[in-house]
Each structure stands twice: as C-alpha cells, then as structure tokens.
Amino acid sequence: MKSKIVKYTIFLVIIAITITGIFTSALARYFYKYEVQNSIENTAVLLVHQINEENSQNKSVDYDKLAKNYAKLLNEKPSAIESFSFFTRITIINFDGTVLGESDSNLNEMQNHLNRKEVKEAIEGKMGTDERFSQTLKVTYLYVALPIKESDIIVRVSIPLYQLNSINKAFFFYTIIGILVGLMLTILISFKLSKVITDPIRQLINTSKEIAGGNYKKRVNINSKDEIGQLAHTFNGMADKLDETLSGIMDKNVRVDTVINSMRDGIIAVDTEYKILLINTIACDIFGVKHGPGIIGKNLIQITRNAKVNSILIDTIKNNHPLTDEIMMFSPLKNTDNIYKIYTNPIKNTDIIKSVNSGGVITLHDVTSVKKLEQIRTEFVSNVTHELKTPLTSIRGFVETLKSGAIEDTAVATKFLDIIDIEAERLHTLINDILQLSEIEVMRKDDNLKENNLGSIIDEVILILDAAAQKKGVKLEVEADENIIMLVNKNRIKQMLINLVDNAIKYNVENGTVHIKASKASGKTMISIRDTGIGISEKHHSRIFERFYRVDKGRSRNMGGTGLGLSIVKHIVNLYNGDIRVVSKAGQGTEFIIQLPL
C-alpha cells in the first residue's frame, strides 16, 4: 500500500505540473501575441498616417523606399514597448494584389498578394490579421493590414514570432525542472504521508493476526483523532467485546466440560453425519479410546464398532425420535462384560420451523452393579427360602409323626424332640444371622464405640470356643501384642472373631491347630486366623464372602453353617474401613488376614 501511495502521488504531481506548464505556456503565448499585435497595429496606424500626409501634399510617393526606410528606422530603435524589439517587415500592396513596396525582399520577386487573408480583409475595409509560416523567409509571421481607401493601397506590417520558440523552450525547461523538483518533494512528502497512513493500518493488521492467533488481550495503540484513530478505537472496542464473549464461552465450556466429565454416565453427541461433537471420559473408557482433542470430529460409528449401538443411533437421527435399549458390551478398562442402559435422543434444530434434527445424543448408564444386586437379591430370597424351608420341613415332619402316635413311644418321642430342638436352634441361628447381616448392611457408621483391648476380646473368644475345639481335638494358639487398643464396638469385633475361629475349628482336621495372631504395623491392627484344615480352592476365593455361598454345601449344613458367617465378617470389616483377604489352597489350610485402623 505504501508503494501505491508513492506511485499515485508521483503520477498525480507529474500530471499536475505538466497540465500547469501547458496552460501557462498557452497563456504566455496568448499574451505575447496580443502585445506583438498591439505593437504592429500601432506601427501600421503611424505608417498609414504618414502616407496620408504625403498624399495630401500631392507628392509622388516611392512606396518601396518608404517601406525600407521605415522598416530600417523601426529595426534600429527599440519599439515603444521595451520588451518587444523585433525585426519589423513592412509591405505596401495595391488593391489588385500587386506589391508596391517591400522592406525585406526584392520588389520584383514578390508574388501577387491578393489571395492573402489579411489583404482580403483589408480590401473589405477591415483591419486584416493573420499568422502563418513564410516560405520566403522560413519563419512564422504575424501580419496586420490596414487599408488606405483614398489611394487604394494597403499597408501591411508583420513581425516574425521568433520569441515563441524561446518561450516554448523556456516553459519546457522550467516545466522539466518543476517536475524534477516536485518529484523530489513529492517522494519525501509521499513517504511521510504513506508512513502516517500505513503504519496504523499495519499495526491494525498485526494486532488482528495476534488476536486471530489467540492473543485476545492485544490492542492497537493509535491516538490520532482522524478516521484511522476512530477505526482503532472501534477495533479495540470490538476486541474487548470479543475477549469478553470468548472468555464467557470458554468459562461456560470449562463448566460444561467439568460437569460432563464428572458424570458417571457416558455421554456422546454427534451431528447428522455421525461426527463427534462432544464426548466425556466415561464414554471413551467404555469404548476403549483415548480421550483428548483428536477425538472430536471423528466418526462415532468407526469408534464404537458396535452394530447395536450404531443402529439405535442411526434410527434416532433418521426418524427423529428417542429410543431406549439395554446392551452387554466388553469393557476394555475393566476387562469384563458390562451391562449398559442406552438412551438416544435427537438434537433439536434451532430453527423450530424445520422438523429435521441436528444430530443425536447417546447416554450410556452402567447397570451392571444394579443387575448384580438384583441377581443377589433374587439369590438371597431363594437361598433364605430354601434355608428356612429345610428346618421347617424337618420340624413339621417330626411333629406329624409324633401326632400320628409316635409320641406314645417315649424313646422315639425323645429322639424326635431332640431333632426338632436341633432344627429349631438351626432356624434360630439362621434368622439371627440374617437379622445381624441386615443390621450391619444398613449401617454407615458404628456409634457404640469404646476403647477396647484386642487381647482381652481374643481371650473371651477363646473361652467361648474352647469346648468346641477340645471336642474336635483342635489346639487354639494365640500370639497377640500387648496393649493393642482399638476404638470399636466390642461385640462387633468379638462376633467377627467368633465366626472366623469357629469356621477354623469346624473345617479343621482332627488334632489340628488354629493360630490366632494380632499385631500393630504401619498404624494398623493386623489380625491373622490360620488353620491346618481342609483349605479352600482358589476358584472359590472371590465368592466365599457372598451370602449363602458354600464351598461344600452338604458338609456346611451338616456342620450347622448358615452360609452367612463370612458375609457378616466382610461387612464388619468394611464398617471399620478395614480390609480382609484369604490365603488358602485345597488341603493346605486357610488363613484370613484382616487389617483394621487402630
């Protein structure tokens, strides 16, 4: 732009100086000829006056001599106008065109002048004038002719316009000088002017580029009060508004992104071409793709690679209606098959007149845990029903037998009553365990907390189970650090230990050992119950804490187990934010390791 301003300015200056030179030259030529014409008109009038005087005296006039003498007189002395000292030529012509006198040429060599313009006008009684190139003298002359009607002659005075060429040369020379000087001044001024104009514009361009590049705080520093200053002020105002708007949009995007990525459900929004507009981290985890900037704009169908998900989405977008379905998919993150509830909804178009949508939204809700809970509940109800039904059936059967007459036989009646008592006790134990488990499950925190010595609790447990151990020939060994003080509900910890030690005795071998160890490590209480019993196969380790789960169902029932003991232990450990794990192999004994906060 700077070069254009300089070029156009120079071009305009050249045109202006040239036009000025042409008009000035023409004006000078006009005034020059005007002054010359006035001078020769005066000369012609004087000559006419002299000829008339001589004719009035009846003298015989030698017109040729008169012309030469008068011309000589005029050419020797400056004219009345000092600026015009020319070589004056005088010609005296008869009305028939014959030259009677000539100051600059031989009279006999002169042609007839009747066809000359100025001569024709003089014959008509007017002052004749003409300007033409003289072939005789090879110069342009200005002619003025005055008639003398009394003598039928014409006095013609002419002057060569030598100075017109000088004027033209002078004006050409000074025009060139003016153009050169004007060009130098114009170049300096145009560079300064272009700098004044282009620098603010360049600053606006550079600032625009920086803002386009993300530097929304950049502003132009132009303080002029002209149109460029007003443009800069408007530009800065626009940049402020843009910065404010983008900051608001970015803030909203951050909030939306935070909310979306904080959700536990997978959310994906796509346009009508199934290109991803929005996706959260949970959805990426579900489909096993990396969440990041490159994910936006990709085709969802290529990412999901799940025919059912894609068909539901396509149906929603094409038919513009929401759909709900349930699907099982493999989760790469969890390396398991999960069940998801899928909800698809069309994205409404901003133009309410149009019925076509702008894409679709998929929401994936993981219902795997819910399904598992439903399955556990179903299994729990089934197991409770079965566990309650078995002792009740036995009780009812023996009661019916007694009522049928067996009560008369004292030995049989006593045996049947003992069996009824055992089944009733079993039923009582089962109901009590179920109630305890339900109570612990709904508890978020145990309120009845007191400082208790763990060693004292273990001693009480040993006292309770010592008879059962001696009956089976199992030796109970205790290795507990002194002064392990815990802020717990004594009855909960006691119940937990009883369940574990009782199992260790029941599933031990004859003359086996149960080793109970308690210690402190890294701010935690470590409790270990290790037996020398039948052990547990590794395939059962993940399920032994489930309700009513038995490794050997028949053997557990024969030993009076309800299948709820380890589940109760697990819930008590969780109640105190602890951890429990099992180390066991079939035939090699079992060890339960518990970690509880002090």
Which tokens is 225 given? 């009060």
Mean pLDDT of 505-524: 88
Listed residue (400, 437, 392, 440) closest to 416, CA to CA: 400
Which tokens is 161 given? 């316009």
Cα distance from N-terminal residue to C-terminal residue, the chain: 82
CA distance 54 to 60: 8
Lowest mean pLDDT among 374-378, 554-558, 588-592: 554-558
Lowest mean pLDDT among 181-185, 225-229, 349-353, 387-391: 349-353
pLDDT of residue 410: 79
Which tokens is 216 given? 């929304």
pLDDT bracket for residue 528 (50, 70, 90): very high
pLDDT bracket for residue 80 (50, 70, 90): very low
Mean pLDDT of 333-338: 73
What letter represents residue 597's amino acid?
Answer: P
Q: What percent of the chain has pLDDT over 90?
A: 3
Q: What residue spans of 263-289 are helical by DSSP H?
A: 281-287
pLDDT bracket for residue 592 (50, 70, 90): very high
Higher pLDDT, 594 or 430: 594
pLDDT bracket for residue 333 (50, 70, 90): low
Query: What is the tens place of the pLDDT at every residue in 228-285?
Result: 778 878 888 888 888 888 788 878 877 877 777 777 788 888 888 888 888 888 888 8
Query: What is the tens place of the pLDDT at every residue in 466-480?
Result: 888 888 899 999 888
Mean pLDDT of 545-562: 60
Q: Would you say residue 83 has pLDDT above 60? A: no
User: Which value, to the nearest 10 degrees, does the dihedral of the CA atoms of residues 592, 595, 596, 598 take?
Assistant: 130
Q: Would you say residue 42 has pLDDT above 90? A: no
Kindly give, in sequence order, each residue whose CB lies less than 8 Å from that of residue 206, ignoring residues fewer than 6 positions away.
none
Higher pLDDT, 267 or 134: 267
Lowest mean pLDDT among 377-381, 393-397, 493-497, 516-520: 377-381
Kindly state the greatest CA–CA separation across the chain: 208
**Per-residue exposure over 414-428, b if at least 16 CB sit within 10 Å of its own CB, e if not:** eebeeebeebeebbe
Please, are residues 465 and 459 in contact by the beta-carbon 8 Å criterion?
Answer: no
pLDDT of residue 433: 67
Mean of the per-residue pLDDT values for the chain?
Answer: 79
Own/partner pairs, 176-182, CB within 8 angstroms, 24+ separation: 178/17, 178/20, 178/21, 179/13, 179/14, 179/17, 179/18, 182/13, 182/14, 182/16, 182/17
Listed residue (354, 361, 353, 350) closest to 317, CA to CA: 361
Q: Would you say residue 343 has pLDDT above 80? A: yes
Q: Would you say residue 214 has pLDDT above 80? A: no
Which tokens is 147 given? 């008639």
User: CB burial class (10 A; 0-12, 13-18, 19+) of residue 238?
Assistant: exposed
pLDDT bracket for residue 163 (50, 70, 90): low
Q: Would you say residue 359 has pLDDT above 90? A: no
pLDDT of residue 85: 43
pLDDT bracket for residue 530 (50, 70, 90): very high
Q: Would you say residue 436 has pLDDT above 80? A: no
CA distance 401 to 419: 12
Tell me the DSSP string of 57-84: TTPPP-HHHHHHHHHHHHHHS--SSTT-
β-sheet bridge partners, residue 130: 143
Listed residue (276, 246, 67) closest to 154, CA to CA: 67
Q: Would you say residue 308 has pLDDT above 50? A: yes
Angle between helices 368-403 and 410-442 (to 10 degrees): 160
pLDDT bracket for residue 81 (50, 70, 90): very low
Q: What percent of the chain has pLDDT over 70?
A: 85
CA distance 421 to 409: 18
Other Cβ atoms closer than 10 A to 485: 13
Mean pLDDT of 4-25: 74
Mean pLDDT of 326-343: 79
Please, are residues 508 and 514 in contact by the beta-carbon 8 Å criterion?
Answer: yes
pLDDT bracket for residue 515 (50, 70, 90): very high
Which tokens is 35 given? 């002054």
Higher pLDDT, 585 or 376: 585
CA distance 100 to 132: 21
Instruction: Name the one residue in this structure whose structure tokens are 């300096």.
Output: 188
Residue 575 belongs to what H/E stretch? helix 565-575
Mean pLDDT of 502-519: 89
Other Cβ atoms closer than 10 A to 400: 10
Please, are residues 517 and 479 in contact by the beta-carbon 8 Å criterion?
Answer: yes
